[in-house]
Amino acid sequence: MLLSLMIFIPLLGMVVVLLLPRESEELVKRVTLIFTLIPLALAVYLFISYDRSTAGTQFFHGPVPWIDAFNIQYHVGIDGLSVTLLLLTALLGPICVIASWRNIEKGIKAYMALFLLLETGMLGFFAALDLFLFYVFFELTLLPMYFLIGVWGGPRREYAAIKFFLYTLFGSVLMLVAMIAVYLNSNIVNGVAEGARTFDIPTLITLAATQGHALADPDFQVWVFVGFFIGFAVKVPIFPFHTWLPDAHVEAPTAISVILAGILLKMGTYGLVRVNMAMFPQGLAHFTDGIGFWGNSLALLGFINIVYGSFCALAQTDFKKLVAYSSIGHMGFVILGLAARNSEGITGAILQMFNHGVISAMLFLLVGVLYDRAHHREINGFGGLGTRMPIYTGITTLAFMASLGLPGLSGFVGEALSLLGAYDRFKFLTILSTIGIVVGAAYFLWTLQRVFLGTLNPKYEALPEINGREILTLVPLGILTIVLGVWPNFAIDMFRESVTNLIDVLHAI
């Protein structure tokens, strides 16, 4: 019940915001902030009271029948993986509202309303336990995102928004097909239909592990795996489905970039874990067993993402595009870790998901701070800002260092664990992937040098220092970065059992 409350409070907020008069902008912002703070409080409560010692889902609501004709139910619940991502989502909500406080110039009411709708979609996605509900929430995020980019974005916003929308839709159509295939086969045992079909994820996971069930058929699993995989791969994004990302990021307003990198990308990897890995272990095995081309393909994709993303980032001169490509590189570690199919790899991948959410959110906020002041993002157009904006420089250095995987900060733990896990199975690819670590350091340090070091560009002698509101958005993320770097068990405690459980499923085949 609590969980449902949390999911739908932003939706309620949207209704409230829509009822407010258009002129009272301050009120709209405050109301939005309140309606994002409530889910945060609930998320913190869930995080604290979550029982860390078991792998099972908790805080159920449902299953409540929703569309009886197809046995679709409203069913939400969280396990260790979802609770961390829910916390991340709920945390980024108010941060993004605060970040949008001053720099959304038109239609603040519609913006905030759409943002709240988006938040409901994201929260619901991470909590959904019914495959259909899962899909509905997945699609629900698409629509507000389309408008948020397409209306409040930069000069090429329409192009970026349509590209984002169509790309994701392309993926989700394949996912839908796969989902229907799963549904239609969900009551076939040994070729005979018996009982009702279902969309319920926990049930499907059990069925997919049952001997003789149609869902447990290896060939079926491989094909369905591919369908879901492409759907999620677009979202992650995995090479070669990534090109919507730089465009969307460059055009989107700061707060939306934060959500895009912080949460939406995680929806892809979360889906991979929740559906592809847990439901289709044999499909997964086909792509990660290390035999032949297909057996290495998932790790290969991870490797390509890491190296390709890093090299592309190195060549960028647009600050935001650089961060966008760095995201592609970092998500590669997640894929590599998942491909490893062992506790180090999967834990590393999940940590990396969470940490990347925090760190990339920081990076995009920081880019936004600079853009608000200088009105451009050309890396070579700055220089020597370190003398003018010491606090900003300090926080940026922290975020860069976290992102390039400096030990002691959170980025390291996820990367290191992913690599450690992956090395166990894919030695060659993992060693090659470490190139990404060096290149990652290279582009961040080079950027640091071009923007902050050297002599101060006379154009920016009067650039104001980062202000209190902006610091307020960055500090919670900075603290998380340090805390998780120093004490990773803080997060791992949440999903250790879930990972163990998942590995049992993976090894049961």
Can you tell me the distance from the alpha carbon of 131 to that of 202, in angstroms, rounded to the nearest whole number?
Answer: 10
Q: How far is the CB of 204 from another protein (least distance, A)?
A: 24
Q: How far is the CB of 213 from another protein (least distance, A)?
A: 27
Choice from 54, 156, 449, 507 touching another protein (CB under 8 A): 449
Closer residue to another protein (CB): 201 or 466: 466
Binding pattern for the stretch 214-253 against another protein, x by CB under 8 A and - elsewhere: -------------------------xx-xxx---------
Crossing angle, helix 281-288 and helix 319-340, to 10 degrees? 100
Q: How far is the CB of 168 from another protein (least distance, A)?
A: 13
How many residues in the shown chain lie near another protein by CB under 8 A? 68
Residue with tokens 């059992």: 497
Taking CA atoms, 243 is separated from 104, 163, 503, in Å, by 26, 9, 32
Confirm if 426 and 296 have CB atoms less than 8 A apart.
Answer: yes
Closer residue to another protein (CB): 222 or 441: 441
Residues within window 372-391 making contact with another protein, judged by CB under 8 A: 384, 386-387, 390-391
How many CB atoms are closer than 10 A to CB 49? 11
Per CB under 8 A, does 463 bind another protein?
no
Q: How far is the CB of 488 from another protein (least distance, A)?
A: 5
Can you tell me the distance from the alpha carbon of 19 to that of 442, in angstroms, rounded to the nearest whole number?
Answer: 50
Tell me the window of 91-99, 186-194, 368-376, 495-503 that interacts with another protein (CB under 8 A).
495-503
Closer residue to another protein (CB): 39 or 411: 411
Can you tell me the distance from the alpha carbon of 370 to that of 460, in angstroms, rounded to the nearest whole number?
Answer: 11
Q: What is the 3-state secondary structure (H, E, C) of 495-509?
A: HHHHHHHHHHHHHHC
| H-state helical runs in 242-342 | 244-251, 254-259, 265-271, 278-279, 281-288, 292-295, 297-315, 319-340
Bridge-partner residues for 97, per DSSP? none
Taking CA atoms, 345 is separated from 106, 309, 328, 357, in Å, by 45, 20, 18, 18
Closer residue to another protein (CB): 24 or 243: 243
Binding pattern for the stretch 283-322 against another protein, x by CB under 8 A and - elsewhere: -------------------------x--xxxxxx------
Residues within window 8-37 making contact with another protein, judged by CB under 8 A: none
Summarize as ranges the residues that interact with another protein (CB under 8 A): 163, 166-167, 239-240, 242-244, 308, 311-316, 343-344, 347, 384, 386-387, 390-391, 394, 397, 401, 406-408, 412-413, 416-417, 419-420, 423-424, 430-431, 434-435, 437-439, 441-443, 445-446, 448-449, 452-456, 465, 471, 475, 487-489, 492, 496-497, 499-500, 503
